[in-house]
Structure 1
């Protein structure tokens, strides 16, 4: 097993530094300016065009940032009318716990300068000695400062750039900023080593394959003199296999037909059972219809009788009313009109009850008739299916009888060639082998006298290469194992980081009425692995942060929340950010500034924040630098 010590990072904490001063000479709109900066939060404020961003650009140029060289000619940064410009960054290099941040310098301050000439040439100085750009990179790497990482030096518009770059580039940017790039580099180194081992193994395997081919040639020569007898035996065996192969093929056909016959018979039995059930249901529905018809007929008779009684009672009532109206002595009439009314009401109630019952019976008869129709249709379908299946069974039975007869004939033929043998190959391949064997038998030549010696020499060579191939395989597996261990360690470190960042990110988002998440995508593939941010404002569901879904203010606020959550994990002691609040509303801007101040209480880092806005209700900013432009020249003033 490979020890995980192979991929461990150094646990020793390097002493931290910070920028004490930025000096601009003939740089852009500056004639000469010294900008003192402190540990903690430094806010550079002033109106647009005053020269605020030039300070951050000067810092980037002095540190050798590639972004500045790609975006413009360095000679264009020289103040108009001047031939040369210089920008310098003064670092604190005082000892901490007995060690200096830049160990190979014994001064408490360390100055990195860059000279720009109008002819396009430039050079670097470190503590007033000319150095190469690679040496500047080495010094900054010693301080954990990478000016090309946008999470460390973020110029105007880079917040939008960070939101728009793909998830893979975003993850690599974060890895570098938090000091985890070495894990990725170790993976790439392990992959390169694995590629080398694979190439070595492939080369040996190619030689092994070539040696095997050569050995096969001499083995064939060695075997030829005794091959004829073996070929005759082989031919006999092949003819036996061929005969039984045909029998097995026919046996498989018979088995399939028998299986199909069983399936069809089972299907027929099921159809017969379903048909019997359907016929019973149909008969039952028919009986129910007959019974319902009789009941309806009976109720119609009752209805006629009740309606007749109702009519008679109604007639008597009318006559009685007329008689009473014409009679002088109403009480002398022998007929009781109240009794007739009662009879009429009873007849009317009976009539209504019979009518309701008739309606229910008609509805029930209609439903029963529908069931009867359904059963009749299903009965017809099942009858048709039974006829079709019976025809299929008849056809299969004929085919099965023919196939069984042919199987018996093939068995007799195969037994004449030898006892039964199980054959996996098809008969066409075996027949082709028989033809080849016949050709080999007829085409054998005399064997070479050196065949046995050559065969043995090449056999020894092959064994030697096999041992080397086994060793190459072990080396390749070991390299693969190391690669997997490093991948797992990389994934663990990234996921541990994101777990911590996620909690802080969500807490900060809550303060701006938003929710979101930070997650790693495609963690199993270092080439496709990426960092994805999601955010949702004012109660909306979180969506992936991109250049199209959220507004400019929402993107800026979300990315700032993420950057703030990430700050305590970034290795660089200095960070610079230009106009992060470009698209933010005043409330979110104040919120972000407040979070930056809170960070100052927890970490001894240095922040340079450039903002065109006024600082409202934030008095705790330790260092405020005001920039203004007068008569074409930028000037700075540090607030008391």
Structure 2
């Protein structure tokens, strides 16, 4: 028979422990008992009802086995008539190579106790200090003990339970017992991580899609915002241009008014100068006219005088003529006077003729001067009228100019509020029409919010971040999938490696009870459906799947025991408990299984507590045999080595 040699402890492991003693106080049929245990095999024997199973039950209660707590009320385990019970398990905590099995405790013995009260309150103590159940679990995990695994402490009927559970649960139980559950846990964790990554990726992709839709909305709003912004800038430019166009137009008006005023002032100056000249000419012509009038007056006087002289001469001549007619003797005497008179008359005629000629000439000259004087006076009147008109125009122009300059200043202030001066050739009404069109275009963008640009940029950045997150999420999902596959592969390999070893031993032990069989893993690619399948056939029969319907009770017990024996060297827990494994076995198989158990213990480092009701026939070299009997309603133990 092939045996596995004991191995040395590695630096990363704690030394193995074993139970030194179980102490029962007011527990079930025990009033008080101290049950010593040794490393290796401990057989607990005694008749039915003696209290053998109570020892294993007490161990389970002390370790906090959930199965025990679910199956009964712990207060029912208190000895009848008592109010409180206590079960204590004393572990060996002696150092090995300087390390203790329970590093946190400095004592060579570590006592784990459970108190049960009739009122239903329970608590744990570790080295006589109250601890929580979670702290108990942590301490037991340091010892590689999982009290909830049925392969660690198997109560009565649990062999049949192990045979009846489905293949999936059976595989999980084996994994926990041999320390491979962490591989399953890692797979489940990796799968959960993958599920989380998938959910995260889906969530991010959903967010990405939603963010894209939102970005599309804000992109459109941003385009409208930019159009609105451009229109507003255009409006500002137009308003600035309009303001300065009005200024330029007013400046042009002022400039024209200034030019017109200057022109009118020049005209006024010319009129004034012309008027002065005209006045001078008028005065001069008046002087000339006065002189000519004076000359005419003198000429009229001269003409009157000469005419009077002529009349006098003619009158004298008439007198002389009369005298000549009447006095011939006076002719000679008057001839000189007569000649003188004729001469005077002729001279008077000449003077009159000359005077009249001068008078005509002077009249003509006077009339001309009078015409010129009249022209000068008319011109002077016209010039005065024109001057008055021009002066009124200048006054009106200056008034308009002052008003225009004031308006120009106001327009300049208004325009400077719109911005610096710009040159434009467009008319204000043309610009105003553009402003109206721009306002009409802006009215269609009233609903555009001022934060459209910020929202667009924020959502664009958010989309970019989400894309990076989506890419990272995809990488994480792929990495999680690779991690899951890697862990699945490790889990399968570890289990296949285990089952190859267990299969060989299982077949060998089955052969000793005239049976054949196999151990194999089913659905290895699906951790949820993966299971452990046992097949067995006795006395030459073809191996069949182990279940509650194909094999007899004894065959099932024998087959499962063969499997458990094959599995023992791989179980991590330093302690095992087994209650009446041979319940349905015939004596021969019972004897064979017991021998196999003893043989297995030769080099085993584990501690076994095996309860058997039968007689110990042909059993030798058992390190510790504990006999249990019930006397007067109280169980008692006796060690028989």
TM-score, normalising length: structure 2? 0.61
> Using a 3 Å threshold, how does the CA distance of structure 1 residues 453 and 78 change in structure 2: closer, same or farther?
closer
Question: Is residue 534 from structure 1 mapped to residue 515 from structure 2 by the alignment?
Answer: no
> Using a 3 Å threshold, how does the CA distance of structure 1 residues 448 and 51 change in structure 2: closer, same or farther?
same
Q: How many Å apart are 1:78 and its aligned residue? A: 0.8
Counterpart position of 2:551: 550
Q: How many Å apart are 1:530 and its aligned residue? A: 0.8
Q: How many Å apart are 1:135 and its aligned residue? A: 1.0
d(CA) in 1 for partners of 2:123, 2:570? 33
d(CA) in 2 for partners of 1:599, 1:507? 13
d(CA) in 1 for partners of 2:548, 2:86? 37
Question: Is residue 52 from structure 1 mapped to residue 55 from structure 2 by the alignment?
Answer: no
Counterpart position of 1:613: 614
1:47-81 CA distance string (max 9 Å, x none)? 11111101111111111111111111111111111
Q: How many Å apart are 1:218 and its aligned residue? A: 7.8
SS of corresponding position for 1:601? coil
SS of corresponding position for 1:615? coil
> Using a 3 Å threshold, how does the CA distance of structure 1 residues 125 and 456 change in structure 2: closer, same or farther?
closer
d(CA) in 1 for partners of 2:621, 2:144? 28
> Using a 3 Å threshold, how does the CA distance of structure 1 residues 564 and 223 change in structure 2: closer, same or farther?
same
Counterpart position of 1:269: none
Q: How many Å apart are 1:211 and its aligned residue? A: 3.3
Counterpart position of 2:126: 126
Consecutive unaligned residues of structure 1, counting only runs of 5 or more, are 1-9, 225-446
Counterpart position of 2:160: 160
Q: How many Å apart are 1:212 and its aligned residue? A: 3.3
Counterpart position of 2:263: none
Counterpart position of 1:630: 631
Counterpart position of 1:484: 485
Q: How many Å apart are 1:463 and its aligned residue? A: 4.7
Contact 1:218-1:454 within 8 A present in 2 as well:
no
Question: Is residue 31 from structure 1 mapped to residue 31 from structure 2 by the alignment?
Answer: yes
Contact 1:518-1:531 within 8 A present in 2 as well:
yes
> Using a 3 Å threshold, how does the CA distance of structure 1 residues 617 and 448 change in structure 2: closer, same or farther?
same
Contact 2:522-2:532 within 8 A present in 1 as well:
yes
> Using a 3 Å threshold, how does the CA distance of structure 1 residues 204 and 118 change in structure 2: closer, same or farther?
same
Question: Is residue 181 from structure 1 mapped to residue 166 from structure 2 by the alignment?
Answer: no
Moved more, 88-97 or 182-191: 182-191
Q: How many Å apart are 1:146 and its aligned residue? A: 1.0
Moved more, 125-134 or 191-200: 191-200
Q: How does 1:60-209 map to 2 (within 5 A)?
A: 60-209=60-209
SS of corresponding position for 2:32? strand
Counterpart position of 2:565: 564
SS of corresponding position for 2:601? helix
Q: How does 1:388-407 map to 2 (within 5 A)?
A: none
> Using a 3 Å threshold, how does the CA distance of structure 1 residues 579 and 211 change in structure 2: closer, same or farther?
same
d(CA) in 2 for partners of 1:14, 1:613? 37
Q: How many Å apart are 1:11 and its aligned residue? A: 8.1
Q: How does 1:300-311 map to 2 (within 5 A)?
A: none
1:466-511 CA distance string (max 9 Å, x none)? 3332122111111211111111111111111111101000000000
d(CA) in 2 for partners of 1:577, 1:182? 25
> Using a 3 Å threshold, how does the CA distance of structure 1 residues 60 and 459 change in structure 2: closer, same or farther?
closer
d(CA) in 1 for partners of 2:156, 2:85? 23
SS of corresponding position for 2:602? helix
Counterpart position of 1:597: 598
Q: How many Å apart are 1:129 and its aligned residue? A: 1.2
d(CA) in 2 for partners of 1:221, 1:78? 78
d(CA) in 2 for partners of 1:454, 1:64? 62
Counterpart position of 2:515: 514
d(CA) in 1 for partners of 2:79, 2:215? 79
SS of corresponding position for 2:480? helix
Equivalent pairs, count: 410
d(CA) in 2 for partners of 1:557, 1:606? 21
Q: How many Å apart are 1:110 and its aligned residue? A: 0.9
Question: Is residue 581 from structure 1 mapped to residue 570 from structure 2 by the alignment?
Answer: no
Structure with higher Rg: it is: 2
d(CA) in 1 for partners of 2:34, 2:222? 91
Q: How does 1:309-348 map to 2 (within 5 A)?
A: none
Question: Is residue 504 from structure 1 mapped to residue 505 from structure 2 by the alignment?
Answer: yes
Moved more, 460-469 or 191-200: 460-469
> Using a 3 Å threshold, how does the CA distance of structure 1 residues 463 and 64 change in structure 2: closer, same or farther?
closer
d(CA) in 2 for partners of 1:35, 1:529? 41
Contact 2:31-2:634 within 8 A present in 1 as well:
yes
Q: How many Å apart are 1:12 and its aligned residue? A: 2.5
1:184-236 CA distance string (max 9 Å, x none)? 11122222222222222112211221233356668899999xxxxxxxxxxxx
d(CA) in 1 for partners of 2:456, 2:158? 71
Q: How many Å apart are 1:14 and its aligned residue? A: 2.1
d(CA) in 2 for partners of 1:56, 1:215? 69
1:359-393 CA distance string (max 9 Å, x none)? xxxxxxxxxxxxxxxxxxxxxxxxxxxxxxxxxxx
Counterpart position of 2:374: none
Contact 2:102-2:142 within 8 A present in 1 as well:
yes
Q: How many Å apart are 1:23 and its aligned residue? A: 0.9
Runs of 4+ that moved beyond 6 A? 217-224, 447-456
Q: How does 1:153-552 map to 2 (within 5 A)?
A: 153-214=153-214, 462-552=463-553
> Using a 3 Å threshold, how does the CA distance of structure 1 residues 193 and 630 change in structure 2: closer, same or farther?
same
SS of corresponding position for 1:115? strand
> Using a 3 Å threshold, how does the CA distance of structure 1 residues 453 and 69 change in structure 2: closer, same or farther?
closer
Q: How many Å apart are 1:529 and its aligned residue? A: 0.9
TM-score, normalising length: structure 1? 0.61
Counterpart position of 1:352: none
Contact 2:222-2:456 within 8 A present in 1 as well:
no
Moved more, 450-459 or 31-40: 450-459
Contact 1:221-1:448 within 8 A present in 2 as well:
no
